[in-house]
């Protein structure tokens, strides 16, 4: 599967979720390639920290903030990997546009505040553009940085707002704001590898992982 985690808005957890899903997929025995499509190189730095700590499995990681380079590399190398996970973002990012045309699945993390929900409209336009080039892109929105309360009105509101954007399906596996996610991400660790283990963070990530990698794709 080629999975892009993208949002034109920053700070919504693209890198955090890309790193978590890539490591979890590698721990499940798959050959994974993580592509950092962001000039800031946050995902690259996390994977470098993982390598520095000699954590196994190591994760193949490359940084292609330039869209045409990303496209060319993925087209050339895709046969070597079971899964490619692309961390792409930025309003003016050519990497995001290139990634969408190549991807089977787009996952858009957003935070439960109205501004972020509106940013889905930006992403919806990009999804339309990608689908005009290549059929079959499946697009999902998932809450990240959700409130800890199980029945938060904010979370329910955000879910309802996704229903107003027909380009997206809502993935009902929210990730909540937890220190385990920020601590693990920076160190290049899966939450399951972090000590002490946060069982709630692990459970949320497992649920997201299962939902994403069980999505039926056409390609």
Ligand X SMILES: Nc1ncnc2c1ncn2[C@@H]1O[C@H](COP(=O)(O)OP(=O)(O)O)[C@@H](O)[C@H]1O
Site of interaction with Mg ion (CB under 5 A): 14-15, 42
Element (H, E) at 35: strand 32-36
Nearer to Mg ion by Cβ, of 49 and 152: the residue is 49
Q: Is 33 in the site for ligand X (CB under 6 A)?
A: no
First to last CA, the chain: 9
Ranges of H-type helices in 84-198: 94-102, 114-133, 153-162, 179-187
Q: How far is the CB of 219 from ligand X (least distance, A)?
A: 26
Q: Is 185 in the site for ligand X (CB under 6 A)?
A: yes
Nearer to ligand X by Cβ, of 80 and 209: the residue is 209
Binding at 142: pick from Mg ion, ligand X, none (beta carbon under 5-8 Å per type): none
The residues with which 109 forms a beta bridge, in sequence order, are 142
The residues with which 142 forms a beta bridge, in sequence order, are 109
DSSP-derived pairing of the beta strands 32-36 and 60-63 = parallel
Binding at 178: pick from Mg ion, ligand X, none (beta carbon under 5-8 Å per type): ligand X
Which are the contacts of 146, defined by CB distance < 8 A and separation ≥ 6?
Answer: 111, 112, 152, 154, 155, 158, 174, 175, 176, 177
Nearer to Mg ion by Cβ, of 10 and 58: the residue is 10
Nearer to ligand X by Cβ, of 14 and 219: the residue is 14
Tokens for 98? 């290139």
Nearest alpha-carbon partner for 66 in 36, 101, 109, 107: 36
Sole binder of ligand X in the list 15, 20, 94, 167 (CB under 6 A)? 15
Q: How far is the CB of 177 from Mg ion (least distance, A)?
A: 16
Binding at 13: pick from Mg ion, ligand X, none (beta carbon under 5-8 Å per type): ligand X
Q: Is 20 in the site for ligand X (CB under 6 A)?
A: no
- Tell me the per-residue interface mask from 111 to 150 with ligand X, x by CB under 6 A, - otherwise: ---------------------------------xx-----
Q: Which residues, 41 to 60, sit near ligand X by CB under 6 A? A: 42
Nearer to ligand X by Cβ, of 96 and 175: the residue is 175
Sign of CA dihedral 122, 74, 186, 27: positive
* CA trace torsion 202, 16, 181, 115 (10° rounding): -110
Residues that bind ligand X (CB under 6 A): 10-16, 42, 89, 144-145, 175, 177-178, 181-182, 185
């Amino acid at each position: 599967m080629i999975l892009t985690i993208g949002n034109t808005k920053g700070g919504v957890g693209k890198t955090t979720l890309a790193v978590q899903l890539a490591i979890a997929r590698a721990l499940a025995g798959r050959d994974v390639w993580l592509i950092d499509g962001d000039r800031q190189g946050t995902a690259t730095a996390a994977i470098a920290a993982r390598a520095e700590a000699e954590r196994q499995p190591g994760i193949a990681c490359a940084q292609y903030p330039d869209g045409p380079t990303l496209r060319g590399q993925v087209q050339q190398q895709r046969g070597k990997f079971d899964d490619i996970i692309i961390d792409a973002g930025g309003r003016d990012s050519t990497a995001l546009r290139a990634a969408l045309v190549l991807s089977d699945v787009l996952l858009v993390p957003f935070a439960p505040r109205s501004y972020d929900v509106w940013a889905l409209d930006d992403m919806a336009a990009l999804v339309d553009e990608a689908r005009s080039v290549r059929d079959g892109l499946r697009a999902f929105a998932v809450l990240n940085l959700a409130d800890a309360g199980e029945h938060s009105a904010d979370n329910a509101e955000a879910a309802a707002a996704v229903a107003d954007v027909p380009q997206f399906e809502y993935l009902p596996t929210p990730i909540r704001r937890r220190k385990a996610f920020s601590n693990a991400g920076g160190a290049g660790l899966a939450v399951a590898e972090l000590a002490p283990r946060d069982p709630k963070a692990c459970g949320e990530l497992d649920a997201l992982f299962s939902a994403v990698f069980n999505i039926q794709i056409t390609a």
